[in-house]
Amino acid sequence: MEILINRAILEEGLKDLLDYSEVDVLIAGAGPSGLTAAKYLAEKGFKVVVYERRLSFGGGIGGGGNLIPKIAVQKEVQPILDDFGIRYKKYNEEVFTLDPAELIAKLSAKALDAGAKIILGANVDDVIVRDDPPRVVGVLWHWTAISLSGLHVDPIYTASKALVDATGHDAEIVAVAARKNPELGIDFVGEKSNWTEVAERLVVEHTGKVAEGLYVAGIAVCAVYGLPRMGPIFGGMLMSGKRLAEIIERDLKNASGAKKGKKKAR
Ligand code: 48F
C-alpha cells in the first residue's frame, strides 16, 4: 500500500507540475487580487497557475484589520461579490462588510472551479528575461521549505505569456525584475504611507502591464508606482484583480492575433 500511495502522489503530482510548467498566465500570490484575477482569466479559457508561498490561500484577508474578523469593502464591488457568490451586509450607503473566512473560501473555490491551478508552498524567486525587445517570459521558483531552510538549492522554471505580481506590499517579483534587469525600464518606487480613498482609486487605475510579459495587481501596485497604502479595506484588491484579467485577456488576444496575421502574410 505504501508504494502505491507513493506512486499515486509522485506520478500524478509530477504530471501536474509538468503540465503547468508552460502557461498563459502565472500569478504569484493567492491573496484577494491574485485569486480574483485567476477566476476571471481561467473562465475565459486561459491556462492559469497561481504560485502561493504559504500552505494556505487568502493572503492578508485572514488577518483583516488588526485581526478583527470582519472585512470592509466599498459598495462598488457588489457585482464582483455576486460573481463569486459572496454574501455581504450593507453597513451603510458606502460600505459593505463580509466574513473573512467566506471571502477566502469563495475566492479560491471559484478560481479553482473556473479551471485555475493553485500550487501551495511554492515561492517565486526570480524572473526569466529575453531581449530584443526585453520581455519577461517566465519565473524561477522553488518550494518555500527550501527557501526557509537556507540550503543552496537552485530553483526550476515555469514559462508564462503573462506573469502577474500579486505578492502584496513588497511587490517582490517586480522588485527583483527591476533590480536585475535595467533593460526592462522599470522604475521601482516603493509604497507611500496611508491615504485610503486615493489609494483605492489609484491602485485600480495603475493595475496592469509593468514591462512586456510582466503585470502587477493588488497592493503590489502601490510599491511599484509609489502610491499610498490603504489599510483594511479590500474592495480595491478585488477590482484590481478583475481589471487585470481584462487587460491580460486583451493583450494575449492581440498577441495571438498578431502571430496569426504574420503567418498569413508569409
Ligand atoms: O498580501 P496579499 O493579500 O496581496 P493582495 O492580493 O491584497 C492585499 C491585502 O491583503 C491587504 C491590503 C488590503 O487593502 O492592503 O494587504 O495585494 O497576498 C499576497 C500573497 O502572495 C504571497 C503571500 O504569501 C500572500 O499570500 N507571496 C508573497 N511573495 C510571494 C508569494 C512569492 N515570492 N512567491 C509566491 N507567493
Distance (angstroms) between ligand 1 centre and the Cα of 119 equals: 15
The tens digit of pLDDT for each residue in 55-101 reads 999 999 999 999 999 999 999 999 999 999 999 999 999 999 999 99
pLDDT at 259 over 80: no
Q: Is 35 in the pocket of ligand 1 (CB under 6 A)?
A: no
The answer to whether 44 touches 118, Cβ cutoff 8 Å, is no
First to last CA, the chain: 57
- Nearest Cα to 235, choosing from 194, 199, 192? 199
Task: Compute how many other C-beta atoms are within 10 angstroms of the C-beta atom of residue 151.
Answer: 9
Q: Is 138 in the pocket of ligand 1 (CB under 6 A)?
A: no
Q: Going by DSSP bridges, is the β-strand pair 95-98/89-90 parallel, antiparallel, or unpaired? A: antiparallel
Task: Compute how many other C-beta atoms are within 10 angstroms of the C-beta atom of residue 168.
Answer: 21
Distance (angstroms) between ligand 1 centre and the Cα of 239 equals: 15
The C-alpha atoms of residue 36 and residue 1 are separated, in whole angstroms, by 40
Distance (angstroms) between ligand 1 centre and the Cα of 169 equals: 7
- Nearest Cα to 240, choosing from 108, 103, 76, 105? 76
The C-alpha atoms of residue 34 and residue 41 are separated, in whole angstroms, by 11
For a mutational test of ligand 1's pocket, the pick from 119, 120, 167, i.e. the residue with the most ligand atoms closer than 8 A to its C-beta, is: 167
Phi and psi of 247, rounded to 5°?
Answer: -65, -45
Q: Identify residue 98 by its one-letter amino acid code.
A: L
pLDDT at 266 over 70: no
pTM exceeds 0.95, yes or no: yes
Q: Identify residue 47 by its one-letter amino acid code.
A: K
Grid coordinates given for 14: 509530477
User: Any idea how long the chain is?
Assistant: 266
Find where cell 483605492 sits: 200
**pLDDT in the model for residue 260:** 76
Q: Going by DSSP bridges, is the β-strand pair 117-120/89-90 parallel, antiparallel, or unpaired? A: unpaired
Find where cell 479551471 sits: 115
The tens digit of pLDDT for each residue in 133-180 reads 999 999 999 999 999 999 999 999 999 999 999 999 999 999 999 999
Phi and psi of 234, rounded to 5°?
Answer: -110, 0
